[in-house]
Amino acid sequence: MAERTLVIIKPDAVQRQLVGKVLTRFEEKGLKVVAAKFMQISQELARRHYAVHEDKPFFEGVVNYMSSAPVLVLVLQAEGVIAMSRKLMGATFGNEAEPGTIRGDFGACRGYNLVHGSDSPENAAYEIGLYFKPEEIVDYTLANEDWLYGSND
């Protein structure tokens, strides 16, 4: 059964004109884009998204960062998409992420980390609901889906 995850290509990636390169990483892996929205996240929406961190010292900073410039919000779908997408992203901070990951190849600091991805099926469902109505998510079949998700059994 395919699962879904929310991915946000964050303000620093948009400002550095890395949207295409980041999106390509997910697509080349075989993760299917089923929804996409280029938008400016409001402070209110950023607060709702990061509400679990409200009592942490970095909360105000992340709210300001996420609402500072446009982002590309995506819903990706594949079996195991949460684990795969998080592995592609790499460690949270670019200065600690392995080369070959999005953050490892394009990030160099602890302040900005280019991309967000849901960390569990429960959080994915909550986060997707913040950004997309059910009718905005498109269910379709990729022409190469058998080659991407099939097996030789």
For the chain, the structural domain boundaries read 3-134
Q: Which of 25, 32, 86, 116 is catalytic?
A: 116
Question: Residue 149: which pLDDT band, with cuts at 50, 70 and 90?
Answer: confident
Q: Where are the strands (E) in the chain, listed by range?
A: 3-9, 32-39, 71-78, 115-117
pTM, two decimals, is 0.95
The pLDDT tens digits for 43-83 are 999 999 999 999 999 999 999 999 999 999 999 999 999 99
Told to judge if 116 belongs to the known catalytic residues of this protein, a careful annotator would answer yes
| Distance of alpha carbon 148 from alpha carbon 153, whole angstroms | 14
Does domain 3-134 bear CATH number 3.30.70.141? yes
Both structure tokens of 138: 């498109």
